A and B are shown apart, each in its own frame.
Chain A
């Protein structure tokens, strides 16, 4: 006996008999189901409500389907046996392709491996009785609602820890990002939401080469919206390296981060990128720091040249490339962006001068040697002079005091 309230069942049977005396067993109508399931206090043996909101159901995208499409085992009214719970397999009767895709996704695999808290159809699309088209503003997978839907799990660090998800607070980071603000503050449908980058039914972890967010796929994924930037990036050294499978070459997320994507016109962002370039270009960062440009940015100010001011940002080209902003023929124009008076002599400035390299910067090398020699010589001489003088003066003073 799975319905606790036998009274309800009896009542329902009577009502049914009165209302639909001629209903055939193989043609159970939704009205027949609702005769019981519209009753407000209908609960199962586990105390769960068995009530179906008839209005919400008929307004849902599934509203035109008979109940038995999903509840195929409810063959009698009232049911002899407890009908099976609705699951992924149920959805697959109609949405077989989507479910097949889902089964191969990170969520589907997790579920196969026994993770009962991994997302299934209803986790994202809502209850099957109220499910709506993804283009419906009321749908939990409508673009403006999707981040909150994903965030129900991906804003929970405990869940991330349980499943070894590297980004533990993706939802919070996203909300703070330029994408998140465009979505939540401006209500922009074009703002990237979770699925723009991760896909939806086919979500794969980033270490998977098939994933839309694997290192090598990131430029194309971001380029889905940022087409102009991708075009520039693909033609630069970094984009070309990635195309050749170089996993060390920077992709979009190395500078812009994956979730907490910030505005690029703030000082903290501009300063962080210098360090980011320096993670690979160590030598260049070291020599940059020796110049006035590098000293001022190290102090935390940005009115001076940073890496991208000379090298470009998305389309970085080597000096040997005639199209490069640092190609000899283009140097005057590049320096003139900040120094309008710059001419052919001015651009002989060495923005990465190394005072320890006599071949590359002979003048600077010898100047540095000379200055070091000068400082050392002055302080050796006057250091000795001062110490000797101090000792003699103290001795003299003691002698004078002794005489007194």
Chain B
């Protein structure tokens, strides 16, 4: 095992540039959607009125909301297109099933069970593979969130068109689902996702991997032993070996990351205040 570890490369690529960029656009548009959508949902709160007026009034709020919606929709479609392309054009079924796929595996259920056992000190920490069960939950929550919030949003945006096919009371439901699912998303991302990926003691104050794309060998070995062993066995580590992330990239990640976390916590606090 030790022989497989390159003596010069201590870092490995975990997230490629495409996914980092998509995550960046997703993050920016999600914040934009939240900042322009939450005032409408919590319209009775003073901060909502002030924020909506500060942004430039209803016309501006709805314009930015729709613009960010289009950006996020493009992220969604681009991601979906790349998965389908990989699976059916490049012929790599691994994105749809197996350790490199985001699709939940039977092992994920067992992992979760043993993770809980570890919480109570009833066993060792489960040995995770490339994607853990909570990462998959985050992923699917966002995936279905986008599908549901997006669909209901477009139904309301183009109500004149959709009103030719669906009864008007569906617009009532669309607004309710749009706003409740969005609240779920905002709360989940700004609490659970932040904790799972950044705030928990092992990662505090943040995991820079989404910005640098790189993990150290120690990290990979400790957090994803199954992936590490698989890569060693398949001699795949050299292919993803890379330099340590340069300082500027880490600082860039910290700057963006702390900004997003701060905005996220402010928005989360405002929703609680308005309840």
- A and B: real partners? yes
Q: How far is the CB of B234 from chain A (nearest CB, A)?
A: 31
Cβ of A309 < 8 Å from any Cβ of B?
no
What residues of A have a CB within 8 angstroms of the CB of B200 in the complex? 389-390, 393
The reply to whether B176 and A342 contact each other, CB–CB distance below 8 Å, is no
Cβ < 8 Å to A, chain B residues 162-189: 163-173, 175-177, 180-181, 183-184, 187-188
What residues of A have a CB within 8 angstroms of the CB of B116 in the complex? 385, 388
Q: Which of A292, A343, A397 contacts B156 (CB 8 A)?
A: A292
Listed residue (A296, A299, A364) with the most chain B CB atoms within 10 angstroms of its CB: A299
Binary contact readout A47-75 vs B (1 if CB under 8 angstroms, 0 otherwise): 00000000000000000000000000000
Cβ of B192 < 8 Å from any Cβ of A?
yes
The reply to whether B176 and A364 contact each other, CB–CB distance below 8 Å, is yes
The reply to whether A389 and B58 contact each other, CB–CB distance below 8 Å, is no
Cβ of B159 < 8 Å from any Cβ of A?
yes
Q: How far is the CA of A142 from the CA of B109 in the complex (A)?
A: 90
What residues of B have a CB within 8 angstroms of the CB of A22 in the complex? none
Cβ of A114 < 8 Å from any Cβ of B?
no
The reply to whether B173 and A363 contact each other, CB–CB distance below 8 Å, is yes
The reply to whether A299 and B39 contact each other, CB–CB distance below 8 Å, is yes
Interface bin, chain B: 35 or more
With A295-B40, A363-B169, A393-B200 given, is the CB distance from A346 to B176 under 8 Å? no
The reply to whether A397 and B201 contact each other, CB–CB distance below 8 Å, is yes
Q: How far is the CA of A374 from the CA of B167 in the complex (A)?
A: 25
The reply to whether A340 and B160 contact each other, CB–CB distance below 8 Å, is yes
Q: Chain A: interface secondary structure? A: helix
Q: Give the contact stretch, choosing among B117-125, B245-253, B259-267.
A: B117-125
Q: How far is the CA of A385 from the CA of B193 in the complex (A)?
A: 12
Cβ < 8 Å to A, chain B residues 22-77: 39-41, 43-44, 48-49, 52-53, 57-59
With A367-B177, A386-B195 given, is the CB distance from A361 to B201 under 8 Å? no
Cβ of A301 < 8 Å from any Cβ of B?
yes
Chain A: CB-nearest residue to B171 = A349
With A343-B164, A349-B171 given, is the CB distance from A374 to B184 under 8 Å? yes
Q: Give the contact stretch, choosing among A118-126, A179-187, A274-282, A375-383.
A: A375-383
What residues of A have a CB within 8 angstroms of the CB of B43 in the complex? 289, 295-296, 298-299
What residues of B have a CB within 8 angstroms of the CB of A299 in the complex? 39-40, 43, 48-49, 52, 58
What residues of A have a CB within 8 angstroms of the CB of B177 in the complex? 367, 371
What residues of B have a CB within 8 angstroms of the CB of A379 in the complex? 187-188
